[in-house]
Structure 1
Amino acid sequence: MENASSSQQAAQSETPTFFTQEEFSKLKSEFETGGVEKVQSLLEKKVKELDDTELNIAVTGESGAGKSTFINAMRGLLKKDKGAAAVGTIETTMEPTGYSHPNLPNVRYWDLPGTGTTRFTAGSYLKEMQFNKYDFFIIVSAGRFRENDAKLAKEIKRLGKKFYFVRSKIDADLNSVQLEGGEFDEDVEMETIRSDCVSGLGKAGIPDPTVFLVSNFKKNMYDFPRLMKALADGLPNKKESVFVLALPNDSVEIIWKKREVLKGRIWMLATIAAGVGAIPVPGLSAACDIGILIGAINNFREYLCLDAAGLHRLAGRTGSSVEELKTKAGSPLLGEITEHVIVKRLRLGAVFVAVSAVEAGLHFVPFIGSLFGAGSSFVMTYAILNDALNLLVETAEKVLAITNGAE
């Protein structure tokens, strides 16, 4: 009974939420009339659509609120890193400036001019900032939210977009209170600050606002994890998956959310591989498309911040070289991914353990059952990618522990 329940949960976690019900019904229909070859083009289109999905996030608020630092934090960058948003104590942004994610160029954070600057009035702000381009707005304040913030929120709501209030620099505020001496209770102080923000926004005409208290330098503390969940939950499925993949690996929970998203792509890639025809693997009685495997594993590494650029940034956090970090992580998938690396994994036999779990967990896809069989390219591709993803997730967890230990 317990095994059946586990299998059911595993299947539910892999439900292809990237598809609408109409798209999924079309997949079934196309397979019934034309087989795997007919489905292949639809899946290739879906994978490309996921890769090309754009996400534009506006970050606004009064000057000096820490917008640029917040943008860097969301992209996993420090101000010294290449491509980081300019950080200063004066207003450094005079027009919307887009900052692409290091690995996902279609994900952009837009640093908007402060709402309190003399250049813009509250009435003209959204028009000049090209309101319609953004998926949602994050309104940042380093202190009390002001009248301009409330006016902006009202206008965003009127125009049908979502917004989130973020109170930054909470660590500095709590530290100041603690230095004053006397009895200190962090939870009580946070609730006092939150209540003050909520009260101020309520008086300005925003009923029952949710305010997230964050530190851009302590992303596992305070309300930062809760903010990430709220931002993801507020997006449609396709954009939610892109947002999750764009998050820096700040916690094990984020790494596992990425794993869940990427597992949802594996069956599509495996079906595409089954449609293009199997290529024998030298020295083994197995066949699969090596090109699809190499491309997918490289993409997994990028999403999990384990590509060359990501490792370079993480090595800088630990004060070690990239090679030292690779040695500590001890993963065979951190070097160049070649046919030799894949064949070696196959010869080790590691991937075959996953095949039975694959067979049990994909019954929700109408045509998957027919793709299983001895020597099936689908089975081999799925098993190899499943094995690679699990190994890379373990590696990402190790790297996170190494990074946290060095801080």
Structure 2
Amino acid sequence: MGGSSSSQQAAQSQTPTFFTQEELSKLKSEFATGGVEKVKPLLEKKVTGLTNTELNIAVTGDTGTGKSTFINAMRGLCSEDEGAAAVGNTETTMKPTGYPHPNLPNVRYWDLPGTGSTQFIAGSYLREMQFKKYDFFIIVSAGRFRENDAKLAKEIKWLGKRCYFVRSKIDADLYSMRRERKEFDEGAEMEMIRSDCVSGLGKAGIPNTTVFLISSFEPDRYDFNRLKEALEDDLTNIKKRAFILALPIESVEIVRKKNEILKKDIWMLATLSGGVGAIPIPGLSLACDIGILIGAIIHFQECMGLDDASLHRLANRTGKPVEELKAAVKPHLLGKITPDVIARIGWGTAVVTVSALELALNVIPVIGSIFGAGSSFLMTLKILRDALKDLTENAERVVRVAFEIN
């Protein structure tokens, strides 16, 4: 009984989570009447939809609170990187400025003009800022949250969107306190700052609020991880997927979350690759759709931060030489992925254990055991699983080197 239960749990972990019940029913009925060829357009549409999912995050607050630095940190950039939000400039524009993620351009952070004017009216501000386009709002302050912040938060909540309070530059505050006092307790000082922020918001009419204390220069410290988890938890499945895949690799936990998401894409890609018109890969005995296969592995590589541009950005942020980060990655995973690379690495060349794969596949709607043991579906499935496993292990090593994690 114990083995059966654990097998079922293993199988359940492979169940796709990005489909509605209606979509699953349609997949089943289409397969029943037209087989794989009738299912493929539905899967192609879903894969395209997942890739093109838009996530728009609004960041607002007064001028000088560190909005631009925060936006850069959320995208894994420092101010010198290409595409970074300009830091330290006087705010003059009254239009939102969008900053796309470097690898996932449909994920955008929007720097909204400051809210410090004495003429500030929350409703008018949100209309001018095109309120409806944003999935949620982050209000940033470098000190106490002000009356305008509270007004804006009330209006955002009234209009049915989520709002989060971020107290930035906590590292600078703690540094000053540490220099001034002989006895210093960082945890106690943070709680005093947090309580002061919460108390101020309570007096402004927003009680029992969570305030996240962060430093945009130290994303692995203070409340930065708690903030990311809160944002993630409040998003729907498909939006959550986009948010996690866009996170910079700053912890082993983030790398593993990305792995779990990408694993759930693999069966769809394998189904598409297992269709008619596949081309043999040099060095492998089976045919696969090379475009799908290589495109997927390059996407995995970028999501895991192992492409050349991502490694350089991580080196800039952490002060580690890029050569040191690259030394943590197997040489064949650096640079361009080609059919020759796939054959040379040996992804997918081992014997495919059909029974083990069927266990994972029997909960996947429609697909089940329609492909034989020698099919390109199973081979593509195995190649992508092996590739993702390799990339995940290498990304974990890079994180440990970059952030000096044991």
Shift of 1:374: 2.3
Conserved in 1, the CA contact under 8 Å of 2:212 and 2:223? yes
For residue 361 of structure 1, what is the aligned residue in structure 2?
360
For residue 104 of structure 2, what is the aligned residue in structure 1?
104
In 2, distance between residues paired with 1:355 and 1:374?
6
Q: For residues 185 and 358 of structure 1, do their structure 2 counterparts lie closer, same or farther at Cα, with a shift above 3 Å needed?
A: farther
For residue 304 of structure 1, what is the aligned residue in structure 2?
304
**Secondary structure at 2:72 match in 1:** helix
Instruction: Kindly report which structure 2 residues correspond to 1:136-151, keeping only aligned pairs within 5 A, or say none.
Output: 136-151=136-151
In 1, distance between residues paired with 2:81 and 2:74?
13
Instruction: Kindly report which structure 2 residues correspond to 1:286-305, keeping only aligned pairs within 5 A, or say none.
Output: 286-305=286-305
For residue 170 of structure 1, what is the aligned residue in structure 2?
170
For residue 115 of structure 1, what is the aligned residue in structure 2?
115
Shift of 1:7: 3.5
**Secondary structure at 2:110 match in 1:** strand
In 2, distance between residues paired with 1:200 and 1:113?
23
AA of the residue aligned to 2:23: E
Shift of 1:276: 3.2
AA of the residue aligned to 2:227: L
AA of the residue aligned to 1:397: E
In 2, distance between residues paired with 1:54 and 1:231?
15
Instruction: Kindly report which structure 2 residues correspond to 1:262-273, keeping only aligned pairs within 5 A, or say none.
Output: 262-273=262-273
Shift of 1:137: 0.2
AA of the residue aligned to 2:37: E
Shift of 1:265: 0.6
Shift of 1:120: 4.6
Q: For residues 165 and 12 of structure 1, do their structure 2 counterparts lie closer, same or farther at Cα, with a shift above 3 Å needed?
A: farther
For residue 71 of structure 1, what is the aligned residue in structure 2?
71
In 2, distance between residues paired with 1:307 and 1:354?
31
Shift of 1:10: 3.3
Task: Give 1 or 2: higher helix fraction.
Answer: 1
**Secondary structure at 1:275 match in 2:** coil
Conserved in 2, the CA contact under 8 Å of 1:154 and 1:206? yes
Conserved in 2, the CA contact under 8 Å of 1:65 and 1:168? yes
**Secondary structure at 1:191 match in 2:** helix
Conserved in 2, the CA contact under 8 Å of 1:115 and 1:148? yes
Q: For residues 22 and 268 of structure 1, do their structure 2 counterparts lie closer, same or farther at Cα, with a shift above 3 Å needed?
A: same
Shift of 1:278: 3.8
In 2, distance between residues paired with 1:186 and 1:352?
55
Conserved in 1, the CA contact under 8 Å of 2:145 and 2:200? yes
Q: For residues 348 and 362 of structure 1, do their structure 2 counterparts lie closer, same or farther at Cα, with a shift above 3 Å needed?
A: closer
For residue 370 of structure 2, what is the aligned residue in structure 1?
371
Deviations along 1:153-176, whole A, 9 cap, x unmatched? 000011111111111111222222
For residue 124 of structure 1, what is the aligned residue in structure 2?
124
In 2, distance between residues paired with 1:43 and 1:320?
42
AA of the residue aligned to 2:360: G
Shift of 1:61: 0.7
**Secondary structure at 2:105 match in 1:** coil
**Secondary structure at 1:57 match in 2:** strand
AA of the residue aligned to 1:147: E
Shift of 1:248: 0.4
Once the two structures are overlaid, the 10-residue window that deviates more, 45-54 or 271-280, is 271-280
For residue 383 of structure 2, what is the aligned residue in structure 1?
384
| Alignment gaps of 5+ in structure 2 | none
Deviations along 1:30-68, whole A, 9 cap, x unmatched? 112111111111000000011111111000011111100
Deviations along 1:310-368, whole A, 9 cap, x unmatched? 1222344455355x64344224222221111112233784x547765433223221323
**Secondary structure at 2:163 match in 1:** strand
Conserved in 1, the CA contact under 8 Å of 2:76 and 2:314? no
Once the two structures are overlaid, the 10-residue window that deviates more, 281-290 or 265-274, is 281-290
In 2, distance between residues paired with 1:242 and 1:346?
30
TM-score (norm 1): 0.93
**Secondary structure at 1:386 match in 2:** helix
Shift of 1:202: 0.9
AA of the residue aligned to 1:85: A
Conserved in 2, the CA contact under 8 Å of 1:277 and 1:377? no
In 1, distance between residues paired with 2:283 and 2:244?
39
**Secondary structure at 2:288 match in 1:** coil
In 2, distance between residues paired with 1:320 and 1:270?
37
AA of the residue aligned to 1:367: V
For residue 12 of structure 2, what is the aligned residue in structure 1?
12
Once the two structures are overlaid, the 10-residue window that deviates more, 122-131 or 108-117, is 122-131
Shift of 1:100: 0.6
In 1, distance between residues paired with 2:71 and 2:284?
48
Question: Equivalent pairs: percent with the same residue?
Answer: 68
AA of the residue aligned to 2:359: A
For residue 85 of structure 1, what is the aligned residue in structure 2?
85
In 2, distance between residues paired with 1:135 and 1:251?
25
Q: For residues 5 and 331 of structure 1, do their structure 2 counterparts lie closer, same or farther at Cα, with a shift above 3 Å needed?
A: farther
Shift of 1:377: 1.1
CA RMSD of aligned residues (A): 2.2
TM-score (norm 2): 0.93
For residue 206 of structure 1, what is the aligned residue in structure 2?
206
Conserved in 2, the CA contact under 8 Å of 1:93 and 1:112? no
Shift of 1:2: 5.6
Shift of 1:116: 0.4
For residue 95 of structure 2, what is the aligned residue in structure 1?
95
Conserved in 2, the CA contact under 8 Å of 1:36 and 1:274? no
Q: For residues 339 and 180 of structure 1, do their structure 2 counterparts lie closer, same or farther at Cα, with a shift above 3 Å needed?
A: same
Conserved in 2, the CA contact under 8 Å of 1:270 and 1:382? yes
> Segments of 4+ in structure 1 off by > 4 A?
1-6, 351-357
Shift of 1:86: 0.7
Deviations along 1:2-49, whole A, 9 cap, x unmatched? 654544443333321111111011111111211111111100000001
